[in-house]
Structure 1
Amino acid sequence: MGAEIRDPHNITIGTKTTIGHNCTLDGRGGLQIGNNVNFSSEVMIWTMQHDPQCSNFGIESSPVVIEDYAWISCRSVILPGVTVGKGSIVAAGAVVTKSVEPHTIVGGVPAKPIGKRNENLEYTLGNQGAIWFV
């Protein structure tokens, strides 16, 4: 449904994960996605970027890990080297520059903790009419 997948051979996706409309998944630096992860529409995950301090605009890369039961809400951006912990939520429009602890809700630019999530997550995605299932 319009998702852009860069270097899919470097991307691992667990079971029952859903990918929303027009998401960008960048596998160039390595991307690991767990089980029952929900990506809302227009999420961007980047594993490679330009080094702003490099005199020749060089590139740096670092893997991204999205753990089980994470919910990455619409139009959020996750940058290289970030781990989004189990059960965490990234609020709509957030830009995640640092790793997120498990069961933490983050939001804003740059993303900061704004709440905690229930730790007893037992749902299975895939029965709510999502776009793509793995």
Structure 2
Amino acid sequence: MRLYLQGFKLWVGFVVGRVPWHRFRLFMYRNVFGLKIGTNSSVHWRLAFFAPQGISIDRNTIVGNDCFLDGRLGLSIGSNVNIGGHVQIFTVGHDPQSQDFGTKGGPVHIGNRAYVASRATILPAVTVGEGAVVAAGAVVSKDVAPFTIVAGVPAKVIGSRSRDLEYDLNFHMPFQ
């Protein structure tokens, strides 16, 4: 019965993510699903997730459309973070060396003012440092140092970002 209830909750989350009314989605994510979402944060539509109660999004953060967030082992996203569309963030994965194909993983942390561009994938037990940039389509399997730019599969350092960042993200569209 527990699995049916869990599946039903994921289905309801799927439906809520398709409602093009931002305030409604935020209300449902916070009050029904238990996501911790800070003030002035924007979660665009068609979000999918596992274990929403393990997801924490700080203030002034933007989560783009069609993202997948995995809160099973803990996902924390800092303030003024921009997460592009179609980004996937996992905290659990299968262990190919396990005799029973068991799982392994760890929490994911994304620092303040980081930018994760469209279609990037962040794998379990990774920290993306403050002000870091993950390029579009990158697959991040190891920690990203603060203020570095990574790209590729697997992601490798390709540059650095200015440490002089002072912006506050505050982007909201009522119907999106």
TM > 0.5 between the two? yes
Report how far residue 116 of structure 1 moved: 0.2
Structure 1 unaligned residues grouped into runs of 5+: none
The question of whether the paired residues in 1 share the 8 Å contact of 2:62 and 2:171 is answered with: no
When you count helix as a share of all residues, which structure comes out higher?
Answer: 2
Q: Is 102-111 or 121-130 further displaced after alignment?
A: 121-130
Which residue among 40, 44, 52 is the counterpart of 2:96? 52
Match status 1:125 vs 2:175? no
The question of whether the paired residues in 2 share the 8 Å contact of 1:18 and 1:130 is answered with: no
**Which structure would you say has the larger Rg?**
2
State the aligned residue count.
132
Q: What is the TM-score normalised by the length of structure 1?
A: 0.94
Match status 1:88 vs 2:114? no
Root-mean-square deviation (CA), in Å? 1.6
The question of whether the paired residues in 2 share the 8 Å contact of 1:20 and 1:130 is answered with: no
Partner of residue 29, structure 1: 73
The question of whether the paired residues in 1 share the 8 Å contact of 2:133 and 2:149 is answered with: yes
- Residues 130 and 21 of structure 1, relative CA distance in 2, 3 Å threshold: farther
When you count strand as a share of all residues, which structure comes out higher?
Answer: 1
Q: What is the TM-score normalised by the length of structure 2?
A: 0.72
Once the two structures are aligned, what percentage of the paired residues are identical? 48
Report how far residue 120 of structure 1 moved: 0.7
- Residues 131 and 87 of structure 1, relative CA distance in 2, 3 Å threshold: farther
- Residues 130 and 5 of structure 1, relative CA distance in 2, 3 Å threshold: farther
Match status 1:116 vs 2:160? yes
**Moved >3 Å (runs of 4+):** 127-132
Q: Greater relative contact order (Cα 8 A, min sep 6): structure 1 or 2?
A: 1
Report how far residue 61 of structure 1 moved: 2.2
Match status 1:98 vs 2:139? no
Cα distance in 2, alignment partners of residues 95 and 6 from structure 1: 20
SS of the residue corresponding to residue 42 of structure 1 reads coil
